Amino acid sequence: MKATITLLPGDGIGPEVIEQSAKLLQTVASRFGHDFTFNEAMIGGIAIDKTGNPLPDETLRLGEQSDAILMGAVGLPKYDAAPIRPEQGLLKIRKHFGLFANLRPVKAYPVLADFAPLKAHLLEGVDMLFVRELTGGIYFGERQEQGDGNSAYDTELYTVPEVERVAHVAFRAAALRRKKVTSVDKANVLAAMRLWRKTVVKVHEDYNDITLEHVLVDSCAMHLLTRPASFDVLVASNMFGDILSDEASVLAGSLGMLPSASLGDGRFGLYEPVHGSAPDIAGQGKANPIGTILSAAMLLRYSLALETEAQAIENAVEAALATGARTADIAGGGPWLSTSEFAQEVITRL
């Protein structure tokens, strides 16, 4: 297979984890007989520094010519209070490509149970997939800070088509897993969430073999810590999905472990680790590349339909962890491998 992949290293530790994941993808291409072409472009703080724009036109152009995008992370402390922020580039690129569904798998690895805040028996069988609506809701609704500085508002707005399309993604994903969908809302209080629940119920009529349950967001937050193994696929609004998937990330032992995929109607997608740019450890070789490596596996699975290759990467990560290979964040004070050394352990096991 021939494919073009745009790399967006971004800020902080982004360039480090992208460099290693690109090496991994090149290894996959070589060993499985594919031809991957890589283009690199800017997004985030580095793009503001160089062009004044967190998402330059050239980045969009290269993305449009690609089969998929693999991104590192965006964000720099110096822009925290600036009118133009690195994160604006991320919101814009999602909107530009119509990437309305964010998939975040969360899996607990037995060998890393000591790094999770829950007792080991609660982590047994934890393997869930968050499907987060990505281009609607309160993050994109009308907002205003009042001139007197004493009040402000943000608007939670959803339409039936927006909820329908992300619900279909969730049910299709559940059909390939354990056939259960948990829809998260706050329908007892919010009108937008009553529309959400009603629409998910309607979409469920097309998936009679899938079990559907509705859980209020506050109850879901509690259940993620008391019975996390009971979840299969969770579908949630933009804000609720953002918060809950970050909460669930600790079940894997470290935020650095988690990948994500942002998808639209077709095969094109943007893939990135869940973690941020971590500028405090940038350039020190301490970054955990697993989240980006597993994001590359998702790229192979969803955008290139290369399931065997995706599973090979995931198996190689598990094999590396099983032999005791650790990055600084999951070493527990013991010996640890640098970003490039851990990536090489994964490459060796492909």
C-beta neighbour count of 176 within 10 angstroms: 9
Is 23 assigned a catalytic role? no
Question: Which one of the listed residues 242, 286, 302, 329 is annotated catalytic?
Answer: 242
Question: Which one of the listed residues 23, 107, 180, 186 is annotated catalytic?
Answer: 186
Is 186 assigned a catalytic role? yes
Question: Which one of the listed residues 35, 206, 218, 265 is annotated catalytic?
Answer: 218
Radius of gyration of the chain from Cα atoms? 20
Cβ pair 271, 262 in contact under 8 A: yes
Q: Rounded CA gap, 31 and 21, in Å? A: 15
Domain 1-102+258-350, CATH among 3.30.830.10, 3.30.1130.10, 3.40.718.10, 3.90.1720.10: 3.40.718.10
Amino acid at 161: P
CATH architecture of 117-252: 3-Layer(aba) Sandwich (3.40)
Parse the chain into domains and list their residue ranges.
Answer: 1-102+258-350, 117-252
Is 79 assigned a catalytic role? no
Is 265 assigned a catalytic role? no
Is 2 assigned a catalytic role? no
What's the predicted TM-score (pTM) here?
A: 0.91
What string of pLDDT tens digits covers the 350 residues of the chain?
A: 999 999 999 999 999 999 999 999 999 999 999 999 999 999 999 999 999 999 999 999 999 999 999 999 999 999 998 999 999 999 899 989 999 999 999 999 988 988 888 898 999 999 999 999 999 999 989 999 887 889 999 999 999 999 999 999 999 999 999 999 999 999 999 999 999 999 999 999 999 999 999 999 999 999 999 999 999 999 999 999 999 998 998 899 888 999 999 999 999 999 999 999 999 999 999 999 999 999 999 999 999 999 999 999 999 999 999 999 999 999 988 999 999 999 999 999 99
C-beta neighbour count of 115 within 10 angstroms: 17
Question: Which one of the listed residues 49, 127, 154, 246 is annotated catalytic?
Answer: 246
One DSSP character per residue, 234-284 reads EEE-HHHHHHHHHHHHGGGT-GGG-EEEEE-SSS-EEEEESS---GGGTTT
